[in-house]
Amino acid sequence: MSTTGQIIRCKAAVAWEAGKPLVMEEVEVAPPQKHEVRIKILFTSLCHTDVYFWEAKGQTPLFPRIFGHEAGGIVESVGEGVTDLQPGDHVLPIFTGECGDCPHCHSEESNMCDLLRINTERGGMIHDGESRFSINGKPIHHFLGTSTFSEYTVVHSGQVAKINPDAPLDKVCIVSCGLSTGLGATLNVAKPKKGQSVAIFGLGAVGLAAAEGARIAGASRIIGVDLNSQRFDQAKEFGVTEFVNPRDHDKPVQQVIAEMTNGGVDRSVECTGSVQAMIQAFECVHDGWGVAVLVGVPSKDDAFKTHPMNFLNERTLKGTFFGNYKPKTDIPGVVEKYMNKELELEKFITHTVPFSEINKAFDYMLKGESIRCIITMGA
């Protein structure tokens, strides 16, 4: 492409300070350096993680910053040493990576790459610590190594999944974070067998994706647990068959579920980050074979306790990161599940806005109105 090796000037939605609306700015995007690619972003979506770090209530604020990490685009150019990607490839940038060389990448069991594991505090690129974004010479911080709220972005090649060029980017862009996190927690970690029962704690986007995984696996009963009963109707579209609001009961919810299921569910997936829900999710699985999987991210100082007999009675507790998917190796296969009509994505997409109205996406999420809002970059 004619822009290869040159600075590109384009529009980006810049967060100048915590909690303030993003501002459309013209930014300069430097060419990719060693092991980096520059991507033209066509569609991006808003994830709760973007909102959490934009609000900057629980961590060290880093501004100005370009947020965004769920997206789909086309490779514009590649830096030195990049051999598995080339201009024109259809790709999903991903907030975590796969270097291919570390013990985690060599392990069939792990996706927690030593080099490219998620880092929320890094504002530059791994290669040199510098930002590839600037405005009038002033650097703008990256976010999660992706920064997809820009028409062009630079990403480490290990954080880029090459996908089927026939896949519609305005749909499959949501595969690059929350959807895969929930889906994989069920399919790859909980692994329910056909006909088993599954409880899902938390019916936000990740929980609904976990329910979708249970539906695909052929679960006979999918019990949704949430403190917001208004979420229950919507969750039926994702295969949820029964609902429990802990506030409607005067006994612990794990006891309620055990009574509903003759001793406990076969599998549970916790998608809230609440330590109380984590205990409930573990203690509601059946002894002898029950498996509980934790997905939600707790607060820094959280801890929970449960009686050791819960383990000795052969219940299993597991944790997972990004659904145990390796970004480059496995995510193209998740896209193929959609292309083969096994996985339904459209029902996750509740809103669409042009890039110029990106702040509306934040409003929808903060009001709890959206599951996923697609932001169309060219509009």
pLDDT digits (tens, 9 = 90+) for 257-307: 999 999 999 999 999 999 999 999 999 999 999 999 999 988 888 999 999
Residues 217 and 110 placed together within one structural domain of the fold: no
What is the pTM for the complete model shown?
0.95
The residues facing 376 across adjacent strands are: 43, 354
Residue 94 and residue 25 share a domain: yes
Residue 277's pLDDT is 97
Domain count, the chain: 2
Task: Kindly provide the residue ranges of all beta strands, DSSP E only, lying in 228-362, ordered along the sequence.
Answer: 242-244, 267-270, 291-294, 316-319, 349-354
- What whole-number distance in Å separates Cα of residue 57 and Cα of residue 104? 32
For this structure, is 284 an active site residue? no
Catalytic residue at 120? no
pLDDT at 332 over 80: yes
Question: Do residue 124 and residue 226 come from a single domain?
Answer: no
The confidence band for 322, taking pLDDT boundaries of 50, 70 and 90, is very high
Is residue 128 in some structural domain? yes
Question: Do 19 and 65 fall within a single domain?
Answer: yes
Pair 283, 366 in one domain: no
Q: Is residue 330 predicted with pLDDT exceeding 80?
A: yes
Reply yes or no on whether 48 is catalytic.
Answer: yes
Q: What is the pLDDT of residue 378?
A: 82
Q: Is 212 a catalytic residue?
A: no
Q: Which of 113, 173, 271, 373 is catalytic?
A: 113
- Mean pLDDT of all residues in 158-187: 98
Pair 146, 213 in one domain: no
Looking up residue 314, the CATH number of its domain turns out to be 3.40.50.720
Assess whether 192 and 161 both reside in one domain.
no
Report pLDDT digits (tens) over 28-70: 999 999 999 999 999 999 999 999 999 987 677 899 999 999 9
Asked whether residue 30 falls in the same domain as residue 154, the answer is yes
The mean pLDDT value of the chain amounts to 96
pLDDT score for 217:
98
**Based on the number of CB atoms within 10 Å of its own CB, is 63 exposed (0-12), middle (13-18) or buried (19 or more)?**
middle
Question: Do 208 and 261 lie in a common domain?
Answer: yes
Respond yes or no: is residue 117 known to be catalytic.
Answer: yes
Q: How much of the chain exceeds pLDDT 90, in percent?
A: 95
pLDDT, average across residues 201-219: 97
Kindly state whether residue 326 falls inside one of the protein's structural domains. Answer: no
Contact 198, 192 (CB under 8 A): yes
The reply to whether 224 and 101 lie within a common domain is no
Of 28, 48, 344, 350, catalytic: 48
What is the average pLDDT across 339-346?
97
Catalytic residue among 36, 47, 104, 141: 47
Q: Is 28 labeled as catalytic in the residue annotation?
A: no
CATH code of the domain covering residue 155: 3.90.180.10
Closest by CA to 161, choosing from 296, 366, 322, 281, is 322
**C-alpha angle 39-41-46 in degrees, rounded to nearest 5:** 130
Tell me: do 142 and 259 sit in the same domain.
Answer: no
Q: Which of 28, 117, 120, 127 is catalytic?
A: 117
Report yes or no on 142 lying in a domain. yes
Please report, for residues 13, 18, 66, 93, 375, the alpha-carbon distance to residue 169 in angstroms, rounded to integers and kept in the order given. Answer: 20, 30, 21, 12, 11
- Mean pLDDT of the 185-198 span: 98
- Asked whether residue 236 is domain-assigned, the answer is yes
pLDDT at 301: 87
Catalytic site includes residue 69: yes
Q: What is the residue range of 18's domain?
A: 8-176+345-376
Which tens digit of pLDDT belongs to each residue from 216-258?
Answer: 999 999 999 999 999 999 999 999 999 999 999 999 999 999 9
pLDDT of residue 299: 83
Residue that finishes a domain, picked among 274, 303, 320: 320
Considering the domain boundaries, does residue 139 fall inside one?
yes
For residue 362, the model assigns a pLDDT of 97
Q: Is residue 339 part of a domain?
A: no
Q: Is the pLDDT of residue 349 over 70?
A: yes
Assess whether 286 and 354 both reside in one domain.
Answer: no
Burial state string for 113-141 with b = 16 or more CB within 10 A and e = fewer than 16: bebbbbeeeebebbbeeebbbeeeeeebb
Q: Is residue 49 part of a domain?
A: yes
In a domain, 158, yes or no: yes
Let me know if 10 is a catalytic residue: no
CB-CB neighbours of 332 under 10 Å: 18
Question: Active-site residue among 35, 38, 44, 49?
Answer: 49
Cα(22)–Cα(358) distance, integer angstroms: 8
